[in-house]
A = this chain, B = another copy of it.
């Protein structure tokens, strides 16, 4: 009887520990989103995870370490989403480019909670360089991929006066800026608008590859 209930399934110690650790990271994300960086205390994180007060320092050496691991978790999740979109997309560079860009606006990784946390970390970036340096290598790989996609598209379409480096940088920045809108405004509308703006941008840059699908006369 007890065995038949999934949530009461007996966990090995290692599994239980891992699950608790993950609960704490999730609770940290929720707390930062709800209360902000400054008002996120270890006690509240523990409470949010349904665990006791002293637990954080058992799983993580310090509060800072908890924050760092939380950032790493989100970073990993983001990367997985990005590369999954790349893998699952059609073979052409244009398809790939559109796929990874649209993937950025999927709710699992793009929602107000997540954005609140990302920008909270950005806000701490200058005073605590450790935080962001854990993401840069990831960003480098993604950015290189983006440049290569753009370069190929430019060659395919014989687009003149298009510099792959600058365009890739612009696309990244545009995406980043659009995610800020997700934070400052309310969720779903912003996601759709983000996709729309990005499509329109691709259209202007590479008209042969991204023909007008619909005239958004609004």
Write the residues of chain A forming the contact surface with B, with a CB cutoff of 8 angstroms: 33-39, 112-113, 115-116, 119-128, 132, 161-163, 165-167, 169-170, 172-178, 180-181, 183-184, 193, 196-197, 200-201, 203-205, 212, 215-218
Contact = CB atoms under 8 A, between A and B. Distances in A.
A122 B159 CA distance: 37
Contacts of A123: 36-37, 116, 119-124
Contact of A37 (B38, B115, B196, B205): B38
A85 B12 CA distance: 65
- Oligomer: number of copies: 2
Nearest to A180: B176
A163 B116 contact: no
Contacts of A163: 200, 216-218
Given A132-B184, A197-B169, A127 B122 contact: no
Contacts of A112: 126
Contacts of A120: 123-124
A183 B216 contact: no
B161 A203 contact: yes
A125 B119 contact: yes
A204 B161 CA distance: 9
Nearest to A207: B161
A146 to B, nearest CB: 13
Q: Which of A39, A116, A201 has most B Cβ within 10 Å?
A: A201
A126 B33 contact: yes
B177 A36 contact: no
Contacts of A216: 163, 166
